[in-house]
Amino acid sequence: MKIVVIGGTGLIGSKLVSKLREHGHEAVPAAPNTGVNTLTGEGLAEALKGAAVVVDVSNSPSWEDAAVMKFFETSTRNLLAYEAAAGVGHHVALSVVGTERLLESGYFRAKMAQENLIRASSIPYSIVHATQFFEFIKGIADISTAGNKVPLPPVLFQPMAADDVASAVGRVAVGPPVNGTVEAGGPEKFRLDEVVRRYLAARKDPREVVTDPHARYYGIEVSERALVPGDDARLGETRFETWLSQPTAQVPSTKPQPAA
Ligand SMILES: NC(=O)c1ccc[n+]([C@@H]2O[C@H](COP(=O)([O-])OP(=O)(O)OC[C@H]3O[C@@H](n4cnc5c(N)ncnc54)[C@H](OP(=O)(O)O)[C@@H]3O)[C@@H](O)[C@H]2O)c1
């Protein structure tokens, strides 16, 4: 089956392409550096020729409110139009658990706009809502740091390995469209402050996490259960402690992370 992975060179996309190929699918990574740009439409018609499924795991290079909204609206509109023309039978998109509860954030308003365009389109679809990646925890610490302190609210948090996110998205991509949302989460529930504290300690990072129920998460107030999935979520296998002990758990990212 030909499966085009939009954002197939990114963190989740590159893992997803490998997994799909391991299972014998023709997985085609599509991103600006493979000649496909969903913002302009460049390369899309050619890339989608003969594709049965398109998986969108792209992300906006900028998370400024207007820029991120423009990215997800324009790229999703373009993608859906080119998919309709190419006869694609399944559009899969990766979004975030709790998106509908986090609309105080411009990033989540943009993800919601992306989801609404998908729901309104004529193409059968599946939206995968994943919890925060373990790989994203450093980004949460960095954005929350003030001096040597990292104030964070003790809300429930159920992060998962990027590898498990890619597996969950891959399983959905090769299955029938659900025309709805499926949730994926990590195998364990923690408190946000606790996870970041453990991450920094494991990395011998001297910053101190301060538990503060009024602290903001990526600039917004989050309630106790805003970031965790429901009981039907598909759970990843990788435990936080196992991931922390792997050398690949080092996150080399230099760019700011999205408010996910
Ligand atoms: N961070 C989290 O914890 C979290 C949790 C749940 C869901 N998510 C969602 O997961 C998705 C993927 O995140 P990620 O961290 O894997 O992203 P990432 O590593 O930043 O990768 C983004 C991908 O999008 C591509 N891209 C950027 N602009 C494009 C354009 N105009 N046309 C086509 N492709 C373009 C990039 O290509 P280049 O490299 O060539 O620029 C790259 O392949 C996001 O939609 C995010 O909302 C994130």
- Which tokens is 187 given? 């195998």
pLDDT digits (tens, 9 = 90+) for 35-46: 999 999 999 999
Phi-psi region of 87 (alpha: psi -120 to 50; beta: other; left: phi over 0): left
Q: What mean pLDDT do residues 61-77 have? A: 97
Q: What mean pLDDT do residues 208-213 have? A: 98
Q: What mean pLDDT do residues 59-65 have? A: 96
pLDDT digits (tens, 9 = 90+) for 180-208: 999 999 999 999 999 999 999 999 999 99
Q: How far is the CA of 195 from the centre of ligand 1 (A)?
A: 23
Q: What mean pLDDT do residues 68-80 have? A: 98
Reported as a pLDDT band with limits 50, 70 and 90, residue 51 is very high
The burial class, CB within 10 Å (0-12 / 13-18 / 19+), for 159 is buried
Q: What is the largest CA-CA distance in the chain?
A: 54
Q: What mean pLDDT do residues 156-167 have? A: 98
User: Per-residue pLDDT for 245 more than 90?
Assistant: yes
CA 44 to chain centre: 22
pLDDT at residue 167, as a whole number: 98
pLDDT at residue 247, as a whole number: 75
Ligand 1 binding pocket includes 93 (Cβ within 6 Å): no
Closest by CA position to 158, among listed 129, 128, 195: 195
Q: Which of 36, 57, 108, 227 to mutate to test the pocket of ligand 1 (most atoms within 8 A of CB)?
A: 57
pLDDT at residue 250, as a whole number: 57
User: Per-residue pLDDT for 160 more than 90?
Assistant: yes
What are residue 149's phi and psi, to 5 degrees?
-110, 150
| DSSP annotation string for 127-143 | EEEE--BGGGHHHHHHH
**Helices and strands in the chain: count of H runs, count of E runs:** 8, 11
User: Per-residue pLDDT for 254 more than 50?
Assistant: no
Q: What mean pLDDT do residues 93-120 have? A: 98
pLDDT at residue 258, as a whole number: 45
Q: How far is CA 192 from CA 143, 172, 204, 252, in A?
A: 14, 28, 18, 21
Task: Give this prediction's pTM.
Answer: 0.95
Ligand 1 binding pocket includes 260 (Cβ within 6 Å): yes
Q: What is the SS3 assignment for 249?
A: helix
pLDDT at residue 251, as a whole number: 56
Q: Which of 4, 15, 59, 158 to mutate to test the pocket of ligand 1 (most atoms within 8 A of CB)?
A: 59
User: Per-residue pLDDT for 257 more than 50?
Assistant: no
